[in-house]
Amino acid sequence: MQANAALEYDYSLAKKFTFLTILFGFLGMLVGTIIAAQMAFPELNYLLGEYGTFSRLRPIHTNTVVFGFTVSAIFATWFYVGQRVLKVSMAESRFLMVIGNIQFWLYFIGALLATISLLFGISSSKEYAQYEWPFDIVVVIVWVLWGFNIMGLIGIRREKALYISVWYYLACFLGISMLYLFNNMAIPTYFATEGLGNIFHSVSMYSGTNDALVQWWYGHNAVAFGFTVPIVAMIYYFLPKESGQAIYSYKLSLLSFWGLMFVYLWAGSHHLLWSTVPDWMQTMGSAFSIVLILPSWGSAINMLLTMKGEWNQVTENPLIKFMVLASTFYMLSTIEGPIQAIKSVNAIAHFTDWIPGHVHDGVLGWVVFMVMASIFHMAPRMFKREIYSRKLMEVQFWLQTTAVVLYFTSMWIAGITQGMMWRAVDEYGNLMYSFIDTVTVLHPYYTIRALSGVMYLTGFLMFAYNIYKTMTAGRELSEEPQFRTPMA
């Protein structure tokens, strides 16, 4: 390599996917805030005819934040971290660049069309798997192209050892491939009936209890391989790099990696407690969910211990603050999940607002915080400019932290209230409350959640503005910062 002294990392794909992350993040959270407001003020359902109802918008929210925002962020950080830890530039392979660009455009157009399809009510009605079969095919092609890129980059790497983040990206790639394919197996009715029915319609290959099992094996592991594994990949790179401290224990990171892989795949049946799936399977789901605390906290503690002796950085560097908060929220949601998976707790928690409460302390506190921190770290390196405003970052941090706390506390109270009211009986064994009684009681909490949505979304806009200003008006840097991200 000495021959080519000017070789540099090529961030063009990382940049493109960063833009998409911000775009889809904004859209997804905007819709999230709208549906949160609809829960509090039902009149808001009727503003746009069928296109504005909760039932149309909810899948748009979930799919946009999962397949739009999070997946873009996974791609963006991969095209940044992948090169760096393998010590090879994308620019060294025309082939990989071309594949990467096809992946980008196909993904961008596919994701937009898929979102529009949901708006028109084209849906296979399986949670987080609503996209109909033509879009599934696009998803598969995009994913395979990404696979080419991962394997290709690994193939031409200079660093022989694969850094732990690469393991996690690989697991994300393999895990999602397997889950997505199996859960979305379906027969397009149009072709099976020689031209009857709608071309966008299909029938799942599973039915009844089997369908439920495959669906929640998928649903739960989408959390594992979409919201956990790639985000851990990010923090294992960005936290050490930003703080200048190597991972506290590399061995622990390997161990928790295999622990996660081994345990997560068996926990999905905790979504089906008290349902018609075999009893032993429910018990297994509960048991594995509790064991899951160990590898999850193994990773989280490893991240926090990485800051050992350097805790002053938390006050000095807002980026470190974002990441430390993210790993703290990771710990919170990975203790909360196992608690909800205990059968007796689940009897109260299931179907209540406590579940979205749990989802969002994970996604808002852990996923989005870590993604934003990653982008804040990458921006000065990609655009060769200092972060535009540290003050704005601080305000954003506190605004969004408050929003997360408001979201999950209101949903905890709402969920447990709901669960208790549903099962309350009087001395003769009659139900004490009708459904509408619970709705009336929950109204204030829904309002608080809607408010928290507005706050969180505002924070996200501040983030987007900060990145935009960094790109266009940040002070130019003469050389790439080594560890700490420079900010004005």
Partner 1 sequence: MDIRDLQGYGSFFMTIFLVVMLYGYIIHLYRSEKKGERDYEKYGRIALDDEVTSTPVEDKPASERENEKENK
Distance CA 467, CA 380 (A): 9
Decide: is 402 part of the binding site for partner 1 (CB under 8 A): no
DSSP secondary structure string, 413-426? HHHHHHHHHHH-B-
Among 213, 331, 359, 379, binds ligand HEM (CB under 6 A): 359
- Pick the closest to residue 484 from 317, 372, 300, 371 (CA basis): 317
76 counts as binding partner 1 under rule CB under 8 A: no
Q: Where are the beta strands (DSSP E) in 178-323?
A: 186-188, 202-204
Q: Which of 15, 157, 201, 469 binds partner 1 (CB under 8 A)?
A: 157
**Binding flag, residue 352, ligand HEM (CB under 6 A):** no
Task: Give the DSSP H or E segment for 162.
Answer: none
Half-sphere exposure for 257 (CA within 13 Å, toward CB):
21
Does 36 contact ligand HEM by CB under 6 A?
Answer: yes
Tell me phi and psi for residue 473, to 5 degrees: -130, 5
CB 445 within 8 A of CB 375: no
Report, in Å, the least distance between residue 13 CB and partner 1. Answer: 16
The DSSP line for 266-321 is T-GGGGGTTSSS-HHHHHHHHHHHHHTHHHHHHHHHHHHHHTTT-THHHHH-HHHH
Tokens standing for residue 375: 């982008």
Q: Does 380 bind partner 1 (CB under 8 A)?
A: no
The binder of 354, among partner 1, ligand HEM, none, by C-beta within 5 to 8 A per type, is: none
Interface residue with ligand HEM, options 166, 229, 331, 367 (CB under 6 A) = 367
Q: Does 70 bind ligand HEM (CB under 6 A)?
A: yes
Distance (Å, whole) CA 115 – CA 128? 12
Measuring CA to CA, which residue among 423, 480, 414, 488 is closest to residue 445? 414
β-strands 202-204, 186-188 pairing: antiparallel
Q: Write down the least CB distance from residue 347 to partner 1, Å.
A: 23
Residue 164 interface partner, choices partner 1, ligand HEM, none, CB cut-off 5-8 Å depending on type:
partner 1
> Does 58 contact ligand HEM by CB under 6 A?
yes
**Which residue in 207, 251, 276, 344 binds partner 1 (CB under 8 A)?**
251
Q: Does 151 bind partner 1 (CB under 8 A)?
A: no
The DSSP bridge partners found for residue 425 are 431
Q: Which entry of ligand HEM, partner 1, none binds 58, CB below 5 to 8 A by partner kind?
A: ligand HEM
* Residue 308 binding partner 1, by CB under 8 A: no
Binding partner 1 (rule: CB under 8 A), the pick from 241, 350, 360, 377 is 241
State the nearest-atom distance from the C-beta of 206 to partner 1, in Å: 16
Q: Calculate the CA dihedral of residues 464, 467, 473, 479 and round it to 10 degrees.
A: 180
Number of residues lying near partner 1 (CB under 8 A): 42
Region binding partner 1 by CB under 8 A among candidate stretches 116-124, 274-282, 336-344, 460-468: 274-282
CA distances 239 to 72, 115, 165, 319, Å, are 20, 33, 12, 9
CB 85 within 8 A of CB 165: yes
**Residue 272, token pair as written in the block:** 């089906």
249 binds partner 1 (CB under 8 A): yes
Number of residues that bind ligand HEM (CB under 6 A): 24
Separation CA 372–CA 477 (nearest Å): 21
- Is residue 29 near ligand HEM by the rule CB under 6 A? yes
CA–CA dist 269, 405 (Å, integer) = 28
* H/E stretch holding 133: helix 133-155
165 binds partner 1 (CB under 8 A): yes
Residues 2-21: x where in contact with partner 1 by CB under 8 A, - otherwise, as a string: ---x-xxx------------
The window from 55-63, 105-113, 204-212, 431-439 that contacts ligand HEM (CB under 6 A) reads 55-63
Name the site residues for ligand HEM (rule: CB under 6 A): 29, 32-33, 35-36, 39, 58, 61-62, 65, 69-70, 353, 355-356, 359-360, 363-364, 367-368, 453, 456-457
Name the site residues for partner 1 (rule: CB under 8 A): 1, 5, 7-9, 83-85, 87-89, 155-161, 163-165, 236-237, 240-241, 244, 246-247, 249-251, 254-255, 258-259, 262, 266, 278, 280-281, 284, 483
